[in-house]
Amino acid sequence: MRKGKRAFTITELVIVIAVIAILAAVLIPTFTSLINKANESSDIQAVREMNQALIIDEVENGKPDDVGKVADILRKIGYDVNTYRPLASGSVNYWYKKDNRVVLYNSNESKIVFPEEYKDTNKYNITNDGNWSLLNQTYTDATKFDFDATDIKGPDGVYDFSKITDETPSTVATETTEQYRGRALYSLAVQINEGKVANDVTVKLPEKVELPDFSWIPIKQFEGTMEPADDGTEKVVISNLNLTESVLYSESTNFSGSGEQATLSKYNVYGFINSVTGKTTIKNITFEDVTITSPGSDFNNVIGIGKNANVVAPIGAIIPNKGTDVGKPINVTIENVHVKGATIRGIGRAAGLVGYIG
């Protein structure tokens, strides 16, 4: 007579489940690490090939003027920024303008991964000095936006976004007129930061502007005018401002505080506009549906004591002039500007409208 198989006891089941849990805890991170290492190796090889293409093109044509032209060069060898993305977790590609090189950056660990010679953080680091440009579709497309074709650009440095109407043809079939205006305004922010457009322009805005769903690129320094267009618009609503953890330290504006202890107080500010100075006027604008959640987190991964330096607000800071205008009085007017429906959370300091004045 055959004996029936004995069932597991409760104690044995608990032991088996514990063993499975331990194996999972050990093996899953190991597999994840191996996959990420393989992805990083692939990303490194891609950057190596990109830089070889840039070297060859530079010999023939000289250094490219901006990251949009870099994207055109890389597209010819099969790396189209519209479809290519680094594979490793937290990895992004930058173009380092000074040397005309593509750099692989890990935002999770706040470090340059490749090329090898850029891994010395005492010499190279992703900074906000204007030499580092994001190499992705939204950014490179923005550098190519033609303001003349839409009649936005007028004489005397005036950019009138009310020129985009329901009749204006768009290259994006699914976007509304308000979204088209938002994409154009994003492009202006990028081109100001890239030095293609002066930062003392006059920006005329229609009644409604809806910013893109992806993270906004802050205007690093603004010295002009931003107000309703001369078409009867009394109040402008800018909606859908998003500044998330994906906005890296390279997009900040940094400066020292004022007073005798200025060198001890460093600030990295983020906002729709990071900093305003000079003779600036911003008036009759309401920001709606604002989400600002810890931009610049990669900086604080490296320098823990820098947490207090992080300042976030729709308008990051009002600060004195820099460069050749140091000591010159500033005349900044913020008039009838409101923020509605906002979530604003920073690593150090957060404010509802202006983050720092000094």
pLDDT of residue 307: 54
Question: Does residue 86 have a cis bond before it (omega within 30 degrees)?
Answer: no
Q: Could you give the CA distance from residue 221 to residue 274 in angstroms, rounded to a whole number?
A: 6
pLDDT tens, per residue, the chain with 358 residues: 455 566 667 777 777 788 787 877 776 666 566 777 888 889 999 999 999 999 999 999 999 988 889 999 999 999 988 888 898 988 899 999 999 999 999 888 888 899 988 887 655 566 767 788 888 888 889 999 999 888 899 998 999 999 999 988 888 888 999 999 999 999 999 999 988 999 999 999 999 999 999 899 999 999 999 999 987 788 999 999 999 888 888 888 888 766 555 555 678 899 999 999 989 999 999 999 999 998 988 875 555 555 557 899 999 999 887 654 555 678 999 999 999 999 999 888 899 999 998 7
Does the predicted TM-score (pTM) go above 0.85?
Answer: no
Closest CA to 242 of 205, 221, 217, 206: 217
Helix boundaries (H) for the chain: 10-61, 67-75, 137-143, 177-193, 297-302
Alpha carbon distance 162, 227 (integer Å) = 11
Q: What is the pLDDT of residue 296?
A: 85
> Token match 């060859």: residue?
56
Q: Which two tokens stand for residue 281?
A: 């006027």
Question: 67-75 vs 10-61: helix axis angle to the nearest 10?
Answer: 100
Q: How many helices (H) and strands (E) does the chain have?
A: 5, 20
pLDDT value, residue 123: 57
Over its C-alpha atoms, the chain yields an Rg (Å, rounded) of 24
β-bridge partners, 291: 242, 343
